[in-house]
């Protein structure tokens, strides 16, 4: 074994180098594996909940919005809404899990060294696993509703998922670090999540909006860009490229802000958590 030399100074950890993360990739896997295992222990339905949760939500919105309000989204409403809801699920459970994750792992943080960023990363990874199971259900729905699909699905879906994951990790890491220092964010978070939900074109379509500047403003919510990409191969409407670019820019901004703030504050996590 090579003579690994570590220098500890006031500058803090070097956990953000890629090699440090790569060295600890197994721990990331085990942390995510633990979250998945623990999540459905002592539930009767077990992993079925992954499928049931978006289905139930979708049923509610189907009854309320489609049956009573008749919202036009340019395609089959149940398919549109369920696609939106599973992407929303990825974003929201990623952010919710990671913002609570640091406090949940306080004991580990106080007692042992590992790159702290692995904790929110594991939370997002867990959300991603849930998403893929729900996504399989969504594929089945496409067949049931005889949804026509264009070849653009091949790049649009992966891009949409990437965009959502990046936003989820960025905001998740930011909130995880903020929560260590200021517990106030625990109570602010539910309102923030509602703001994201209602400003996203999950159960309605931004295409119905008249004013362009409002549309572009709403695309500052990165989920709107992801949803735009997600629905493009499914419906016969023009893609809002400017909106997607704004959303992508915001997602990258969130990621950088989240990681930088996390890195700046992780030095004193063990002292204040």
Closest by CA position to 80, among listed 176, 167, 162, 145: 145
The CB-of-24 to another protein minimum distance in angstroms stands at 9
**Please, what is the minimum distance in Å from the beta carbon of residue 109 to another protein?**
7
Instruction: Closer to another protein by CB, 21 or 55: give it.
Output: 21
C-alpha distances in angstroms, 118 versus 15, 162, 205?
9, 18, 36
Contact residues: another protein, CB under 8 A: 1, 3-13, 26-27, 30, 33-34, 37-38, 41-42, 105, 107-114, 180-185, 267-268, 270-273
Question: CB-wise, 98 or 179, nearer to another protein?
Answer: 179
Smallest separation (angstroms) from another protein to the CB of 104: 10
Q: How far is the CB of 214 from another protein (least distance, A)?
A: 31
**104 versus 148: smaller Cβ distance to another protein:** 104
Q: How many CB atoms lie within 10 A of CB 7?
A: 6
Q: Give the distance from CA 267 to its chain's centroid.
A: 26
To another protein, the closest distance from the beta carbon of 4 in angstroms equals 6
What are the structure tokens assigned to 23, written together? 């060295």
Length of the chain: 273
Angle, helices 184-199 vs 77-104, to 10°: value is 170
CB of 149 to another protein, least distance (A): 39
CA distance 175 to 178: 5
Rg of the chain over Cα atoms, rounded to whole angstroms, equals 20
Cβ closest to another protein, residue 41 vs residue 211? 41
Of the candidates 74, 73, 202, 84, the residue with the CA atom closest to the CA atom of residue 135: 84
222 neighbors 80 (Cβ within 8 angstroms): no
Closer Cβ to another protein, 67 or 110, answer by number: 110
Q: Which is nearer to another protein, 31 or 244 (CB)?
A: 31
């Amino acid at each position: 074994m090579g003579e690994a030399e570590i220098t500890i100074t006031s500058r803090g950890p070097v956990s953000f180098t890629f090699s440090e993360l790569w060295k600890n990739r197994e721990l990331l896997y085990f942390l995510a594996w633990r979250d998945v295992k623990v999540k459905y222990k002592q539930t009767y339905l077990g992993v079925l909940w992954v499928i049931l949760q978006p289905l139930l939500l979708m049923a509610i919105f189907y009854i309320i919005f489609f049956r009573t309000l008749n919202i036009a989204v340019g395609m089959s409403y149940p398919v549109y809404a369920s696609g939106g809801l599973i992407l929303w699920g990825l974003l929201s459970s990623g952010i919710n899990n990671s913002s609570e994750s640091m406090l949940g792992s306080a004991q580990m943080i106080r007692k042992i060294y590992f790159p702290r960023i692995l904790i929110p990363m594991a939370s997002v990874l867990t959300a991603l696993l849930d998403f893929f199971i729900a996504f399989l259900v969504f594929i089945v729905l496409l067949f049931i509703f005889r949804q026509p699909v264009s070849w653009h699905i091949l790049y649009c879906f992966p891009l949409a998922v990437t965009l959502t994951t990046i936003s989820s990790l960025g905001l998740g890491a930011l909130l995880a670090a903020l929560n260590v220092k200021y517990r106030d964010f625990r109570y602010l978070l539910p309102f923030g999540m509602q703001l994201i939900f209602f400003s996203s074109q999950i159960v309605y379509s931004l295409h119905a909006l008249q004013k362009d500047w409002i549309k572009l403003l709403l695309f500052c919510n990165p989920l709107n860009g992801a949803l735009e990409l997600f629905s493009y191969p499914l419906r016969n409407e023009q893609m809002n490229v400017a909106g997607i670019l704004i959303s992508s820019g915001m997602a990258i901004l969130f990621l950088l802000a989240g990681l930088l703030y996390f890195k700046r504050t992780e030095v004193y996590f063990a002292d204040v958590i």
